[in-house]
Structure 1
Amino acid sequence: MQAYIYKTNKKEGLYLYLAQKDHFQVLTPEISQLLGDNPIYVMTITLSADKPLANTDVITAMNNLQTHGFHLQLPPNY
């Protein structure tokens, strides 16, 4: 499963995973406000259940992408 990763200048360590590139319409108003007006594209990755991610659970991320179209990775100790 592909995911498109974005960051924000508003909160260090906050990352947004989208199922479709630049498809910000799936976000709630609260999450859009948290990210700010210009999320910065970082990279595209391929998610797989057998490849863990450093700061978020890959299964949760994949489920959120399938169900909601996005996954929000919060900074540690948020």
Structure 2
Amino acid sequence: MRCFVHKSLRKADTYVFLRDETGAATLPAALRESLGPLQQVLELELTPTRRLAQADAVRVLEALERHGYYLQLPPAPMLAPDDPA
């Protein structure tokens, strides 16, 4: 499946994978508002076996089919063993 990856210009390390090139308009209004302006950074052919840096391709494909988008948030910070949780 062809997909289009956009980064949020408001939220660091936050990306939206879209099924359609103009799919940003179909995002839920609250999500669009939270992300702010988006900038397309990548267009790719996504397959179940494709390796992605921070997401599982199968989960991304399922979200694209079901919702038309996949939201990739920044990874959670790692706590040192002596940090209180």
Q: Does 1:65 align with 2:64?
A: yes
Greater RCO structure (CA 8 Å; 6+ sep): 1
* Contiguous gaps of at least 5 residues in structure 2: 78-85
The ranges of structure 1 where at least 4 consecutive aligned residues each deviate by more than 4 angstroms after the TM superposition are none
Aligned residues: 77
User: What is the CA distance between 1:28 and its match in structure 2?
Assistant: 1.0
User: Aligned partners of 2:40 and 2:8: how far apart in 1?
Assistant: 9
TM-score (structure 1 length as normaliser) = 0.89
CA contact (8 A) 1:64 1:70 kept: yes
* Contiguous gaps of at least 5 residues in structure 1: none
Q: Does 1:31 align with 2:9?
A: no
Aligned ranges 1:1-78 → 2 under 5 Å: 1-36=1-36, 38-77=37-76
CA contact (8 A) 1:3 1:18 kept: yes
Q: Which residue of 1 aligns with 2:82?
A: none
Q: Which of the two has higher C-alpha Rg?
A: 2
Which string of whole-angstrom CA distances, capped at 9 and with x for unpartnered residues, describes residues 36-67 of structure 1? 1x210111011111112110111110001111
User: Aligned partners of 1:57 and 1:33: how far apart in 2?
Assistant: 26
Taking only the aligned residue pairs, the percentage that are identical comes to 27
User: What is the CA distance between 1:27 and its match in structure 2?
Assistant: 0.9
